[in-house]
Structures are given as C-alpha cells and as structure tokens.
Structure 1
Amino acid sequence: MVRLTLWGKPSTEFSIMQSKKDRKFKVAIITSVIPKLFQGKLELTSSPATSFYFHKSIILIKNYRGRIKSHREA
C-alpha cells in the first residue's frame, strides 16, 4: 500500500471528483507526484504539476483494467 498526500488545489480537485454521485470509475491515474520514504514506507506527495485522470475511456485506464481482468482470470 502507498500513502498519497494531496495539498492545495490537487486536494480540492480530487475531493470534488471523488464526491460526484455519478462516479463510476474505480481506477484513477495520478501523475507528477513526489515519492518519499517515511519510516520505511513509500509516500507520494502532490506537486504543482500533479494531475488526475478518472475518465474510463482514457486508453491508459482501459489498458490497466484489461491487465487486471487478465490477471484475475489466470
């Protein structure tokens, strides 16, 4: 498990997207985070360039979901 800490604008944007009632995505792609080790555990912190991708039709999300499905069926 990886802990993700969001600050400022990324935190607000993520909260708004996460609270939508019609939210049907279960996969999110989060880019441009700062990795750090804290007490031997990996933590990710947002940066000014952090972006979120939730839309199911994004090809990266489709590919990821396909890999998960294939792994489950194996």
Structure 2
Amino acid sequence: MSTVTVNVSLWDEAASTFRGLLKAGDKSLSVVLVTSVNPKLFGGELYLNSTQGTRFFFDTTVPEIAEFVGRVGAEAAQGYTCINISF
C-alpha cells in the first residue's frame, strides 16, 4: 500500500473546533472523515481547505467511514462518538 499525503487547512472556527476535538482524547488510531472542503493543488501537493460547510466525523458506525476502514484494514475498531460539526 502506497502512502498518500493530503494537507488539510482549517480556518477560523473549523480550526479551533478541530483542535479542541484532538485535545479531547487520543484519536491517533481513528479515521476522520472530513466533508465539504475546497481541494487545491499547490506545488504538486493536494491541499483541502475548510469551507463554511466543513464537517468532521470520527465514528466508525457511519457507513462511509466503516466502508473506508474495511477497505484499508485500519485498526479503527475503537469508535468515537460521532462528531458532526457544521459551521
């Protein structure tokens, strides 16, 4: 499996909220689904910038996250409460 790096830029309230979520507990082995971002290529790298509609999901019971976890075989059996944040 190859490594793909995606840079995510979170602005204003999105950055503050996400920082708080990370401080709330160890999410190092979880999968985060980030929606409603603005993709940009800069210097040959992919950047995803937050928008007013950006949402974060940390819950493996969300079908899309569960499907992704199943495809990559990640150790995300430890589910977190679904965090659905819209700005």
Higher percent of residues as helix: 1
Shorter-chain TM-score range = 0.7 to 0.9
**Which residue, out of 56, 59, 65, partners 2:63?**
59
Aligned residue type for 2:35: T
Structure 1 unaligned segments of length 5 or more: list them.
70-74
Q: CA offset at residue 63 of structure 1?
A: 1.2
Which deviations, in whole Å up to 9, do the C-alpha atoms of 1:6-43 show, x marking residues without a partner? 00111111111111126476100000111111112111
**Number of residue-to-residue matches in the alignment:** 69
TM-score of the two chains, using structure 1 as the length reference? 0.80
TM-score, length basis structure 2: 0.70
Larger proportion of strand: 1
RMSD: 1.7
Larger radius of gyration: 1
- Cα distance between partner residues in 2 of 1:20 and 1:45: 23
Overall identity of the aligned pairs, in %: 33
